[in-house]
Structure 1
Amino acid sequence: MSEADANERIAVDPDVYIAKPSTEEDNQSETTSVSSSIYRGLIENGRRYQTMREDEYWSPADDLQFESLEAGHAVAVVLESDTPNPLFRAPVGSSAKNILDIGTGNGLWAIDVADMFPQATVRGVDIFPPPVTWMPPNCILEVDDVLREWTWREPFDFIHLRIMLGAFTDKEWDIVYQKCYENLKPGGWIEQLELDAHLEADDKSVPEDSMAASWGDATFGCAERSGRRIDTLNTMSSSIERAGFVDLNEKSNKWPIGAWPKDRQLKEAGLMNYHMWSAGLEGWGMWLLTKFGAPNPWPPEQVQTYVGKIRSELKNPRVHAYQKARRVWARKPLN
């Protein structure tokens, strides 16, 4: 498949209309996340949240959310599978010695890159321990807050971030990008991949009055009121340039949700993206809606009903939903 443009329509597979209705089991990944009971966090509304930072963060850190992250990693890799390197676009040479993955989540990207660069030390950092039982000897997963002082001694050749929307306030994002700039070698690269929370369809199969159509504005409003906007997809380019990076590149495309695309690669990605949404919806919405829902904070039961309806709509093969994605990579000047 050629590189998809964000404005290009995705062809629909007519065969999905005559197939049996899909089920949750049909769309689930064959792999599952591994968790360890030794790690404890803050339990709220049945979900586990980090306690590393003093302030709260909207995303849970539990088995179901790690399962969603695992599916998201698979989508990103599948949609880049026709490129020489499906893990990133930055022209990082084979001589790279130090690589950092900020917001590593379940650590899958860091582990895969460590396999790709056996001569490099690849560090993955997040505010909650990843559910990993094995990793390559050159991969180190750490629990830390990147807003604090960085204590790594060697500068990095490459720093990677992915699906970090809502992780920081606007001011904190500026701090993170500045720290990335300061801790990269001259000529080193930064790359970030982000998603839009809004659900769209080129053929209007996501009606304006549907639950799926309301999701983006509902969560955007909650995030705005919480002080942590989730429009990172639209702000990261200018923020990265403002930090001093040059030679900025962008690639935008669409992540389909469900098996409806005709193209084989997009169909595979859509199946996994449906699983990411199915596993992730409650976690994405629970903290935001119960604390900052409009016109008043929602009870947990209302959130569960809401996300259940969205799952049902996205499971319908006649709904050709997608979300926009954008990848940005840029270089620290040599001088």
Structure 2
Amino acid sequence: MATSGDTERYIMEANEGELQRLANQHQVLKSAMGTLTVAPIDFSRPNLRILDSGTADGLWLRDVQATIAQPHAYVGTDIVQAFFPQPAPPGLSFHNQSITQDWPDDWQASFDYVHQRLTLAGAGQHPVKQCVSRLAGLVKPGGWVELVEADFTGDSSNGPAMQQFEAMMRNMLDKVGAGYAYATPLKSYLEDAGLVNVQEKSFDITYGAACPNAHVAKKGSAHLVTAATGLRDFTKSQVGNMDMSDQELESFPDEVRKEVESRGAHFKMLAVWAQKS
């Protein structure tokens, strides 16, 4: 029989595993994009108020903070409070907040920079456009909002295992409600929210053997194998299993590992940013 200690240990190990996956993903994105921020933020201005929505343990915030001499207020939000570092590092604060819920009244029009990465897929049945509009409302005049999301539309140059990975991702996004094309209308969503200077840029994110940095390549491979395991488990829970046999599902993460380590993989990442007038 499992004890409360066993349950707590399982949760802690699961959280640590997810944070490691997110850390690996962070390194891959930073390497491929060549930057932590795409919007033209003037970090030399004093006392900026910076929000990272979907922050997990605040790795992006801590990385940005380490590159800037000016002291700013860094705010991280997430729905999993167990991810938050205890105690919070100096200059950072963490708050429980869902992108699908209204934000605090006193946060409206209070941030110079609102950043969110790979979080909108978690909107589920809630309209993504509404989530984006809520984020836009947090930006003060002259401030910026930046969204970075994966784009699973278009043709794939990947091998068979990673093309199966992409198909399973599209299936999962459709099943949970966001839809696999959730990222493509983001530019129009920001325009409809009344923002100006709306810009969009796509990035080719390389993993494994396709990545020129050997250290980052290993992190990318580890991230995709962990993600493939999650996709396998999700697919197992669905009726139909995407016409994959039990054996194909079971071996799927290992097939991903072998292909990524030998051939590599590419994904398209879409960054969209805009300014409050």
Structure 1 counterpart of 2:61: 110
Structure 1 counterpart of 2:181: 231
2:253 maps to 1:307: yes
1:323 equivalent among 249, 267, 275: 267
Structure 1 counterpart of 2:36: 87
Measured in 2, the distance between the counterparts of 1:38 and 1:112 equals 33
**Residue 240 (structure 1) shift:** 2.1
Q: 1:134 to 1:197 in 2, by over 3 A?
A: farther
List aligned pairs for 1:59-70, cutoff 5 A: 62-70=15-23
Measured in 1, the distance between the counterparts of 2:75 and 2:145 equals 14
**Residue 298 (structure 1) shift:** 8.3
Structure 1 counterpart of 2:171: 221
Structure 2 counterpart of 1:56: none
TM-score, length of structure 2 as denominator length? 0.81
Structure 2 counterpart of 1:240: 190
Q: 1:238 to 1:170 in 2, by over 3 A?
A: farther
The count of residues paired between Structure 1 and Structure 2 equals 266
- Would you say the 8 A contact 1:64–1:280 is kept in 2? no
Letter in 2 for 1:246: V
Letter in 2 for 1:70: A
1:137 equivalent among 77, 90, 99: 90
Structure 2 counterpart of 1:28: none
List aligned pairs for 1:34-45, cutoff 5 A: none
2:227 maps to 1:274: no
- Would you say the 8 A contact 1:103–1:124 is kept in 2? yes
**Residue 118 (structure 1) shift:** 4.9
Gaps in structure 2 of 5+ consecutive residues: none
Measured in 2, the distance between the counterparts of 1:165 and 1:285 equals 21
Gaps in structure 1 of 5+ consecutive residues: 1-36, 50-59
TM-score, length of structure 1 as denominator length? 0.68
Measured in 1, the distance between the counterparts of 2:49 and 2:182 equals 26
Structure 2 counterpart of 1:123: 75
Write 1 or 2 for the structure with the bigger share of helix: 2
Q: 1:325 to 1:153 in 2, by over 3 A?
A: same
Q: 1:98 to 1:71 in 2, by over 3 A?
A: same
Measured in 1, the distance between the counterparts of 2:172 and 2:127 equals 18
Measured in 1, the distance between the counterparts of 2:114 and 2:77 equals 11
2:111 maps to 1:156: yes
Structure 1 counterpart of 2:135: 180
- Would you say the 8 A contact 2:28–2:207 is kept in 1? no
2:50 equivalent among 99, 103, 106: 99
- Structure 1 residues 187-246: Cα deviation after superposition (integer angstroms, max 9, x where no partner): 210111122458943xxx61xxx2322221233123213322243332322222222222
Q: 1:285 to 1:104 in 2, by over 3 A?
A: farther
**Residue 100 (structure 1) shift:** 0.9
- Structure 1 residues 262-314: Cα deviation after superposition (integer angstroms, max 9, x where no partner): xx45x554343222212332124423x13435357989986443222222222
Measured in 1, the distance between the counterparts of 2:8 and 2:231 equals 20
Q: 1:284 to 1:247 in 2, by over 3 A?
A: farther
Q: Which stretch of the first structure deviates more once superposed, 297-306 or 141-150?
A: 297-306
Structure 1 counterpart of 2:148: 193
Letter in 1 for 2:261: K
**Residue 127 (structure 1) shift:** 0.9
Structure 1 counterpart of 2:200: 250
Q: 1:230 to 1:293 in 2, by over 3 A?
A: farther
Q: 1:190 to 1:250 in 2, by over 3 A?
A: same
SS at match of 2:209: coil
CA RMSD of aligned residues (A): 3.3
Measured in 1, the distance between the counterparts of 2:97 and 2:69 equals 23
List aligned pairs for 1:199-218, cutoff 5 A: 200-201=156-157, 206=159, 210-218=160-168
SS at match of 1:105: coil
- Structure 1 residues 30-84: Cα deviation after superposition (integer angstroms, max 9, x where no partner): xxxxxxx99969x8xxxx69xxxxxxxxxx9622221111011112222344xxx
Measured in 2, the distance between the counterparts of 1:197 and 1:272 equals 21
